[in-house]
A and B are shown apart, each in its own frame.
Chain A
Amino acid sequence: MPNEDDLTRRSFLKALGASIALAGLDGCTRIPAEKILPFVTQPPELTPGVAVHYATAMVLDGYATGLVVEAHEGRPTKIEGNPDHPASLGAAGVLEQASLLQLYDPNRAKRVRSGGAPSTWQSFTTAMSPAALRQRVGARGTGLALLLEPTSSPLIASALASLQTLYPDMSVYYYAPLVSDASSAALTADGLVPQYDIGAADVILSVGSDFLAAGPFHLRYARQFADRRRTPLTGMNRLYVAETGFSVTGATADHRLRCRSAEMEALLEALLDTLAAASANPRAIPGKSGMSFSSSPWLTAVADDLRAHGGNSLVIAGERLAPRVHALVAACNDALGSTGRTIWYTRSPLLGAGRAKTNMSALAEALHGGGIDTLVCIGGNPSYATPASLGFAAMLKRVPNSAFIGLYENETARDSRWFVPAAHYLESWGDARAYDGTYSIVQPLVQPLYGGKSAVEVLSALAGSRSADPRAMMKESSLNAGVARDEESWSAALRRGFVPGSPVARVTAGPRPELLRSPASTSSAAGSIEVVFDRDPRVHDGSFANNGWLQELPDPVTKLTWDNAALVSPETARRLAITNGDVLLLRRDGRTLRIPALIIPGIASDAAIVHFGYGRTGAEEVAKDVGADVYQLWPTLGAFTVSGVLVERAAGTDHHDFAITQSHWTMEGRDQARSETLDTYRNEQRGVAPQGPPSSRRQLTIYDPPQRLESPHQWAMTIDLGTCIGCSACVVACQSENNIPVVGRDDVAKSREMHWLRIDRYLEGPAEDPRAVTQPMLCQHCENAPCEYVCPVEATEHSPDGLNEMIYNRCVGTRFCSNNCPYKVRRFNWFDYNAHLSETEQMAKNPDVTVRERGVMEKCTFCVQRIREAEISAATAGRPLRGDEIKTACQQACPTNAIVFGSLTERDSDMMRRREESRLYGVLSELGTEPRVRYLARIRNPNPKLEDGR
């Protein structure tokens, strides 16, 4: 007899059927247990083949991002941003979008385990029921400890509160490796967090912050930032970045300063000095680091620029930098008069924020003391994602009664006595607050595929309730967030996915001056380097490591896939006499990390950047043996910059081959990705200088124009390089929408990745300190398409509405089209990449898009399925179709609205208005391809006082 916890086809279909019934088929014979509601319109009945969208939210490191999830016949197939949610504004980041694949991951845990033996949820609830547990942990729960991921969920808060009444002495801890309370600690003891209005800032100085691509509100900040760059002639902002690594934000900056953390502090001290000297009440800064930046022209120019814009300027500190940096930054913002205008503070919505007794160090201490009998870890992976020196795994093994509730049987599951599969957020009810406190609802789209349990269910079980009703609890919890008790308000809240107007209030807080007196960071001694432990843009802290989409997504900066590396600058590499792929030994405090070196221009000297999240040893197949486990070297919780790390080349001839999707960084004097300064651009507009980028007008030619296409819509796309930050959200969106397969490390190394849309990244200027331009590159849908005339079997043809179409059924796979494509955007199915998908992975596929077989060519279709769907629904409704009703997947995911799609025939559309700018150009249009995709050259806004532009 099959184990009932196994997901069989039958049980999935049962779950699926239930979900559909719940979604709308109330008239069905099956009596719905609960009801979830679609986002905008609730169909009278579910029409097969018509997708339904539901609002929900994903929680990452405690904060919610509002999402809209597309479901086909009850199975979620695509994750998009919720346009009304403050953390999303319609965009979705790479992690949010890729979490869809996590839902269907066949490696997810499927059964409850006790010790080494299979068990059941019933046994777990019995063993953990108050009756049984009181025997172990005492009547007041002294020996009971809970470890949760950081959370802002009112639901969990109330569940914890009721558990607390049962066990008054139990202790609750929160941990995620990347959540640092450094910024909170820097401000007050009450856990305050800074909030920014990037759109209001004319001049921004970011010190080690990747605010455009990481952090809970990055999608919002990226939009606000881009809105000030969309029309460069009116109110363009200016961004300075001082950083150690090379971040997405750094690549977008107008001026970038490479510096190590100690230099950052010195820089901020000097800045504060300069600003304070000019202000009415100069104030001495205690505890200076001794390094002097005051004479640096960079600093002088930045300080002048910031001061010139007064309250409309902003200084941002990296979330995980030392408390002192945050104190300095807060003081700078105060001195600029920006506090209250471009930056203000709120209490952190995270439970237990700012309280030291809820953090991992406190738990480690308690575990060390041996007072904990029962430790229940819900989510996360602390056995892996803690500094190896902490010895958490060993301590967890010694806990007499431990339980882990997780998506995977990972390292922590291995060290725990009990294991219970967790429900994915698309399978469970929940809630959370966004970074600004907006109350967001996590609505399930399917019943748990593998019988997973949510955190609330586990907490209820601990409290003795055997059959928790998370939905009812949710409804109750939402009352506190301002949802009225009536069914209509509740339905409206579910449809919207959040409660508007629920952000937490601003507080008036000043920086704690005593933090300025905390010891300054020291710079590395000779012979050692500084190591920055950083979040990985793809697998985050390792919790997304088993996700093929993310493993194969090229890192936005290094273009590395399926790996991590020690990123070093070319000059550091020269000094250490290493080349790309040499295996390094990084040593500190008796711990050694073996990690290959990857040389990346633009990294600070004598520093190495390493990313968390690799070198996993759990039961996840995809994550196994990928990269190096950086946690092994990480010395202390919360310390993300570590100086004094000794580095040497590993003995022997070890060489590591990376799978990198772009190996050539320069443009070799070509001009595919164009950029110019604001001054030049302004002069061109006034007619002072000759036009830089040629316009989109047809070039001189003796040939007839391409045949006039008769359809009322002529599809085209405009991409603004000025607002593209290279975050790669569009790449994942395209992968998800268009059923693009994951090919694996070996094939990426052979340059066989299948992404229809890639982000090209070019570097200009000196190798040490380059400027970057990112360029989304996809099928250009050329009117004179070079691919079309060489195909011997007419498998690629032009549609009347101007699409370059690929007919998979007709393709025999000569690959002549790819050879003749000057943009090299066509992708070939070298193997049958879809042959070995598990049943659940197949469910992640978009039913509107063909899954391609081995041996055929494929490429961007301009999301033709979306075009045709819109045409059909317009025709059914008997109304004309507006081209801008259609959004391609990449456009929809883009946080900065850099991509716009539309019809050439609609002069008043956003897409066409953008084409009127003189910075419009077609890539390689000199070949006569007449591409339908046009680019707007990037406009940089350098400070004229920093002549060299960096």
Chain B
Amino acid sequence: MSVAARPTTASPATPTRESWPLMRGAPTDAALTDHLLAPLWRASRVWWLLFGLSTLGTLLLLGTVTYTVLVGIGTWGNNIPVAWAFAITNFVWWIGIGHAGTFISAFLLLLNQHWRGSINRVAEAMTIFALVNAALFPVLHLGRPWFFYWLIPYPATMNVWPNFKSARPWDVAAVTTYFTVSLLFWYLGLVPDLASARDRAPTRRRRLAYGVFAMGWRGSGFQWERYRIAYVLLAALATPLVISVHSVVSLDFSIAQLPGWHSTIFPPYFVVGAIYSGLAMVLLLLLPLRRAFRLHDIVTEAHLDAIAKLMLAMGLMLTYSYVIETFMAWYSANTAERYTYLTSRPFGPYAVAYWIMTVLNVVSPQLFWWRRLRTNTVVLFLASAGILVGMWMERFIIIVTSLNRDFLTSSWHIYIPSWVDWSILAGSLGLFGFLFLLFVRFVPSVAISEVKSLRIELANSPARSGHA
């Protein structure tokens, strides 16, 4: 069936500027649908292998979380002064990753970037799953996680409200809002595709299941009209959240007076870093998916090139933040600030993590100045993986090196993660993989309706269509 979707003309051997199409070939709607729905009806051996691995990871997470809740977070390596470490690092990292989805689907939708249609589903799904992971940590890291709801403003009989001066309740509010909007946005986008799946489902049970989730979508003009309005409205709602969520997360640090946290550049710096790591994660997921589901005609070099350019831009802005932050520490002439930025981070006990962060985050995007490297999938994959590691290190550096050597030298102490810390990190990657693999197995991983309308759009404007 997929053979029908193969390009009818070969792509040029040496692509020139402006020459990459957003889609190759001229498949029929039916062929496109069949091709994109194919993974839903059968699972490959590789899928089962990965699924098994990620299930093990999820079980590891489940086990270590249970252990932590039963025994206490003393099972982690945290201490006084380093009262936050892996859990908050993971939280910020996952939240950051969760930024790319909304950025690609909502931000770029409003900016009329047509290329987003081919990859937004993956990005949005990734956002949801990253947020699920992220949401775990602020609860888990509490000393008494069973009272997590005290951070939520609800009318308690004791008339006690959360402390609105603290960044934490805002954090909870921002993340929950973002999660809700992202989920709705993702689901709304899914509805037409779920209807397609319903219509094509080979068995009655699947037809029923997809039918329930398709909520009676018939694809009528009336429905499409309402759908488009709702989609754009949600996009308008989600777009400011891209900026606000990580800004609020950054306030967890910048409202404190700790050297290394106490910095006004944090909100934009965090947002840029978030989108940066999110785009890296999109690439990391998209490249294997493109290969496994043979999406080369739908996710073309044009997409990769666009993402790589965005990553380069974000990487440069991040570098600027690093420089300014360090400069301000020096310029402030404050002993503690200078010590943190100029001594502790580059030469202290976590210097290795600092230099890994600097090399991966600052140097690796520089590859994307070259057009050839922007479309080289191996380079893209490795650079994305490196940036994800680098961004994790960045959060670790911000959190741990600020805490482990702060104002009074007498309280300085090293932090060493425990096996539980590592297991929870590995387990949360497992959970992410687990959810993502379920997603590609049961939900169309490319927005079929979007791709179909893109194809029609391209057909109507030959200038954009390249060789189509």
Contact = CB atoms under 8 A, between A and B. Distances in A.
Q: Are the chains A and B members of one assembly?
A: yes
Interface of A: 662-670, 672, 747, 750-752, 758, 760-762, 775, 777, 786, 789-794, 810-816, 818-820, 822-824, 826-832, 853-857, 923-924, 927
B208 to A, nearest CB: 43
Contacts of A750: 77, 79, 416
B216 to A, nearest CB: 42
A810 B150 contact: yes
| Pairs A-B, 3 closest by C-beta atoms | A813-B143, A855-B143, A830-B74
Q: Which of A762, A793, A823, A923 has the most CB of B within 10 A?
A: A793
A411 to B, nearest CB: 34
A816 B77 contact: no
A665 B410 CA distance: 7
B161 to A, nearest CB: 8
A117 B84 CA distance: 54
B162 A856 contact: no
Contacts of A830: 72-74, 78-79
B143 A828 contact: yes
B264 interface: no
B79 to A, nearest CB: 4
A664 B410 contact: yes
Given A791-B163, A831-B74, 4 more contacts: A794-B161, A824-B81, A824-B407, A830-B79
A664 B412 contact: yes
B413 interface: yes
Interface in B224-271: 252, 255-258
A910 B23 CA distance: 84
Contacts of B161: 794
Given A812-B147, A824-B80, A856-B143, A789 B160 contact: no
19 contacts: A662-B410, A664-B410, A665-B409, A666-B409, A667-B409, A790-B165, A792-B166, A812-B142, A813-B144, A814-B141, A814-B168, A815-B141, A820-B256, A820-B257, A820-B258, A824-B408, A828-B80, A831-B71, A924-B408
Given A668-B339, A792-B162, A786 B256 contact: yes
B444 interface: no
A830 B412 CA distance: 18
B410 A760 contact: yes
Given A662-B410, A832-B72, A794 B163 contact: yes
Given A789-B165, A790-B166, A857-B143, A672 B408 contact: yes
B335 interface: yes
B168 A792 contact: yes
B126 interface: no
Interface in B389-430: 403, 406-414, 416
Contacts of A816: 166, 168, 252, 256
A761 B255 CA distance: 30
Contacts of B144: 811-813, 853-856
Nearest to B413: A751
Nearest to A823: B408
Contacts of A662: 410-411
B148 interface: yes
B74 A790 contact: no
Interface of B: 71-74, 77-84, 141-145, 147-148, 150-151, 160-163, 165-169, 172, 252, 255-258, 335-336, 339, 403, 406-414, 416
Nearest to A856: B143
A790 B255 CA distance: 8
A815 B151 CA distance: 14
A826 B163 contact: no
Nearest to B403: A819
B410 A762 contact: yes
Nearest to B256: A820
Contacts of B141: 814-815
A818 B80 contact: yes
Contacts of A854: 72, 143-144
Q: Which of B77, B83, B414, B416 has the most CB of A within 10 A?
A: B83
A823 B143 contact: no
A752 B142 CA distance: 16
A751 B143 contact: no
B148 A790 contact: no
Contacts of A923: 408
B329 to A, nearest CB: 15
Contacts of B403: 819
Nearest to A786: B257
Given A819-B256, A927-B257, A794 B160 contact: yes
Contact of B83 (A670, A672, A761, A818): A818
Contact of A855 (B73, B410, B414): B73
A202 B172 CA distance: 64
A218 B409 CA distance: 30
Nearest to A815: B83
A474 B416 CA distance: 58
Contacts of A760: 408, 410-411
Contacts of A790: 165-168, 255-256
A854 B146 CA distance: 12
Q: Which of B160, B166, B172, B410 has the most CB of A within 10 A?
A: B410
A669 B166 CA distance: 32
Q: Which of B84, B148, B257, B414 has the most CB of A within 10 A?
A: B257
Contacts of B414: 663
A831 B73 CA distance: 7
Contacts of B168: 790, 792, 814, 816
A811 B147 CA distance: 9
Q: Which of A662, A826, A853, A923 has the most CB of B within 10 A?
A: A662
Contacts of A828: 80, 83, 143
A854 B147 CA distance: 13
Nearest to A750: B79
B410 A752 contact: no
Nearest to B405: A664
Given A790-B166, A818-B80, A823 B74 contact: no
Given A750-B79, A777-B408, A822-B406, A668 B169 contact: no
A824 B81 CA distance: 6
B80 A827 contact: yes
B143 A663 contact: no
Given A750-B79, A751-B81, A762-B409, A815 B336 contact: no
A924 B258 contact: no
B79 A751 contact: yes
B282 to A, nearest CB: 31
Contacts of B162: 792-794
A364 to B, nearest CB: 46
Contact of A829 (B82, B143, B336, B408): B143
Contacts of B160: 793-794, 810
Given A670-B335, A855-B72, A856-B143, A822 B80 contact: no
A775 B411 CA distance: 12
A168 to B, nearest CB: 61
Nearest to A924: B407
Contacts of A752: 74, 79-80
Contacts of A669: 335
A128 B384 CA distance: 84
B407 A822 contact: yes
Contacts of A819: 81, 83-84, 256, 258, 403
Contact of B151 (A762, A792, A927): A792
B142 A855 contact: yes
Contacts of A664: 409-410, 412
B335 A824 contact: no
A639 B335 CA distance: 49
A828 B79 CA distance: 8
A828 B77 CA distance: 13
A924 B408 CA distance: 9
Contacts of B406: 822, 824
A236 B410 CA distance: 29
Nearest to A797: B163
Contacts of B81: 751, 818-819, 824
